[in-house]
């Protein structure tokens, strides 16, 4: 393995035996590496993407607009040919393209049915995510059992609550305590401030509805110095990288902690082909890796394997890890591996114009918005709701800028340009994130006849929204319009004619947890039922999807799983 592919601590790069291997360096991989090394294990972290070092490799972080190639506008032919999926995400432009996977070089099948957004660097999507972090409640953990959709979660809120606190105290979560049973409060740093319009609309909304609350978003961005990281100074846009470390990423937070132990070996440009299985010990016996540059193959061994490559990549690895013991994928005696794929419904809501506060503007690039927690079907089924479960709203208020005004302001020439120098009216948008039920028919699988450049079968998707999700989307649109009108909005218009799976970038569920090994891949500790030294802690472990952003739950599950795994290892049970 060449040194250019490797960032190591005190472990020789020629060594192939470790106490633990972590596959993936994103949000959960970083947490697994931190926890395992801090508990005394020598850890190998494998990442298929290229190296990105904190700060020095954020090459476009503060580049001014006039220096951005083509002012950041899409290079139509390049994007169409090489980034047809990645270029549709909000975070993709000429300042971030170097973080993303090239779709042409890394193809998959059925991209019209499911959008697979992928980073191609150390840190993964922790460099690009929206940083919204919300706890689940027992409304979420008990939903499957109560309404009969999916299998019961093997855990409840009380099992995860201390781990939520543990994670939050480390990463730093800015937010406002609201004492809502459907949205438990976190360990908060000071909240970010709403702008003048949002404060006004919050008061009007809560005065008009007795079942709704508007709060500032709960976000993994620091509002004061924390754990050696600097506070946010609202410079944005965050997805270019944050050298101050104000937002949580692997680079700013968990990776430095793991490196500090001198027990971490990090290898980038390492594509995991599969995981070997020993039927005698009933354990994972090796991780097979392909060098992304030289195509050289190496097998690494360890006592523990944590699969944290992100939902779809992790499941691809497991499905490709076939043997006589597991001909349909590693730890797949249940046959459910790859099934029950979920995402949140997305891009449905409304926008309205407000004709007051014309003398006020908002300053800075606040990396956050407002949140309206779930209010539907909280105490049983609401009258008139033709769907189960619910949704929450995210959004923000802003003044229209020249980009949005240019299509409405009349005239041309100098007068037209001068007219665009003045800010337009205030606008408020709210967009719903709706829960997706777990359907066996929504799945990913591998197509052996179509392989990628590494010889690994490509992923194919079968995914569509059910009637419940479509009915929920209609309700999201209706409620969004009604709320904006109720608080004084004019020219209120809905948006969101359709939604494709994957758009919310909250994919989960393809290696679900459960008590019954015949119906699930993992037990209550994220440990594979069939392979006792194998743990999966990213989104693939999820048994249902809730309606809130899931990354905080992934982190808490990872820390909890590591604690259990290390104790089991020390006691000789693994």
CA 559 to chain centre: 17
Using a pLDDT cut of 70, give the percent of the chain over it: 96
pLDDT at residue 407 in the model: 61
pLDDT at 5 over 70: no
pLDDT at residue 416 in the model: 76
Q: Say which range, 13-17, 19-23, 322-326, has the weakest mean pLDDT.
A: 13-17
pLDDT at residue 340 in the model: 98
pLDDT digits (tens, 9 = 90+) for 442-483: 999 999 999 999 999 999 999 999 999 999 999 999 999 999
pLDDT at residue 72 in the model: 73
pLDDT at residue 460 in the model: 97
pLDDT at 322 over 90: yes
pLDDT at 111 over 90: no
Compute, in degrees rounded to 10, the torsion defined by CA atoms 29, 33, 35, 39: 160
Which residue has better confidence, 423 or 26? 26
pLDDT digits (tens, 9 = 90+) for 246-274: 999 999 999 999 999 999 999 999 999 99
Task: Give 172-218 as a DSSP string.
Answer: -EE-----BTTB----EEPPPPP-HHHHHHHHHHHHH-SS---EEPP
**Would you place residue 110 in the very low, low, confident or very high pLDDT band (cuts 50, 70, 90)?**
confident
Q: Say which range, 276-285, 399-408, 440-449, 538-547, has the weakest mean pLDDT.
A: 399-408
Average the pLDDT over 505-525 and give the result: 98
Per the prediction, the chain carries an average pLDDT of 94
pLDDT at residue 298 in the model: 97
Instruction: Please give the sequence-ordered ranges of beta strands (E in DSSP) within 57-198, or none if there are none.
Output: 173-174, 188-189
Q: Say which range, 43-57, 81-95, 179-193, 427-441, has the weakest mean pLDDT.
A: 81-95
pLDDT at 9 over 60: no
pLDDT at residue 402 in the model: 67
Cα–Cα distance measured from residue 38 to residue 259, given in angstroms and rounded to the nearest whole number: 10
Question: How far is the CA of 45 from the CAs of 23, 151, 259, 567, in angstroms?
Answer: 6, 32, 11, 20
Q: Three-state SS for 467?
A: helix
pLDDT at residue 10 in the model: 32
pLDDT at residue 528 in the model: 98
> Rg of the chain's alpha carbons, rounded to an integer?
24
The helix or strand, by DSSP H or E, that contains position 271, with its residue range, turns out to be strand 270-278
Cβ-based neighbours of 519, under 8 Å, separated by 6 or more: 151, 334, 336
Cα–Cα distance measured from residue 291 to residue 46, given in angstroms and rounded to the nearest whole number: 11
Burial-class residue 77 by CB neighbours within 10 Å (0-12, 13-18, 19+). exposed
pLDDT at 359 over 70: yes
**Would you place residue 124 in the very low, low, confident or very high pLDDT band (cuts 50, 70, 90)?**
very high
pLDDT at 73 over 90: no
pLDDT digits (tens, 9 = 90+) for 398-436: 998 766 665 666 777 887 777 777 888 999 999 999 999
């Amino acid at each position: 393995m060449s040194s250019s592919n490797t960032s190591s601590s005190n472990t020789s790069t020629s060594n192939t035996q470790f106490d633990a291997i972590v596959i993936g360096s994103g949000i959960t991989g970083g947490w697994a590496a931190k926890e395992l090394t801090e508990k005394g294990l020598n850890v190998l972290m494998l990442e298929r993407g290229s190296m990105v070092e904190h700060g020095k490799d954020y090459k476009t972080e503060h580049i001014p607009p006039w220096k951005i190639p083509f002012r950041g506008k899409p290079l139509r032919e390049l994007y169409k040919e090489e980034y047809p999926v990645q270029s549709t995400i909000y975070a993709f432009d000429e300042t971030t393209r170097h973080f993303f996977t090239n779709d042409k070089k890394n193809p998959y099948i059925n991209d019209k049915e499911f959008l697979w957004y992928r980073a191609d660097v150390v840190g993964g999507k922790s460099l690009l995510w929206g940083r919204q972090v919300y706890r689940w409640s027992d409304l979420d953990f008990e939903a499957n059992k109560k309404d009969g959709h999916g299998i019961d979660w093997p855990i409840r809120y009380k099992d995860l609550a201390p781990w939520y606190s543990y994670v939050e105290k480390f990463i730093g979560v800015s937010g406002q305590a609201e004492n809502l049973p459907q949205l438990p409060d976190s360990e908060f740093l000071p909240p970010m401030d709403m702008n003048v319009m949002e404060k006004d609309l919050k008061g009007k909304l809560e005065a008009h509805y007795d079942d709704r609350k508007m709060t500032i978003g709960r976000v993994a961005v620091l509002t004061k110095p924390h754990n050696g990281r600097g506070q946010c100074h609202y410079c944005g846009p965050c997805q270019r990288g944050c050298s101050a470390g104000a937002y949580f990423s692997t680079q700013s937070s968990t990776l430095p902690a793991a490196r500090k132990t001198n027990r971490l070996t990090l290898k980038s440009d390492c594509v995991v082909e599969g995981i070997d299985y020993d039927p005698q010990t009933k354990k994972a016996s090796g991780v097979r890796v392909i060098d992304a540059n030289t195509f050289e193959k190496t097998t690494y061994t360890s006592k523990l394997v944590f699969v944290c490559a992100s939902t779809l990549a992790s499941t691809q690895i497991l499905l490709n890890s076939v043997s006589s013991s597991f001909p349909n994928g590693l730890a797949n005696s249940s046959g459910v591996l790859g099934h029950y794929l979920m995402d949140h419904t997305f891009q449905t809501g409304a926008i309205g114009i407000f004709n007051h506060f014309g003398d006020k503007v908002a300053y800075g690039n606040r990396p956050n918005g407002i949140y309206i927690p779930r209010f539907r079907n909280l105490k049983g089924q609401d009258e008139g709701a033709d769907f189960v479960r619910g949704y929450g709203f995210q959004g923000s208020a802003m003044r229209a800028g020249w980009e949005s005004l240019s299509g409405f302001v009349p005239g041309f020439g100098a007068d037209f340009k001068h007219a665009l120098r003045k800010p337009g009216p205030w606008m408020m948008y709210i967009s719903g994130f709706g829960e997706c039920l777990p359907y066996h028919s929504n799945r990913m699988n591998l197509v052996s006849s179509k392989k990628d450049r590494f010889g690994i079968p490509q992923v194919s998707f079968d995914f569509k929204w059910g009637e419940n999700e479509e009915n929920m989307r209609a309700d999201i649109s209706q409620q969004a319009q009604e709320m904006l009108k109720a608080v004084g909005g004019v020219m209120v218009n809905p948006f969101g004619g359709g939604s494709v799976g994957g758009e919310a970038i909250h994919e989960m569920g393809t290696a679900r947890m459960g008590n019954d090994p015949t119906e699930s891949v993992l037990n209550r500790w994220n440990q594979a039922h069939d392979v006792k030294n194998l743990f999966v802690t990213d989104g693939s472990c999820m048994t249902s999807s809730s309606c809130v952003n899931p990354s905080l739950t992934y982190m808490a599950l990872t820390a909890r799983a590591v604690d259990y795994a290390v104790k089991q290892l020390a006691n000789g049970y693994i």
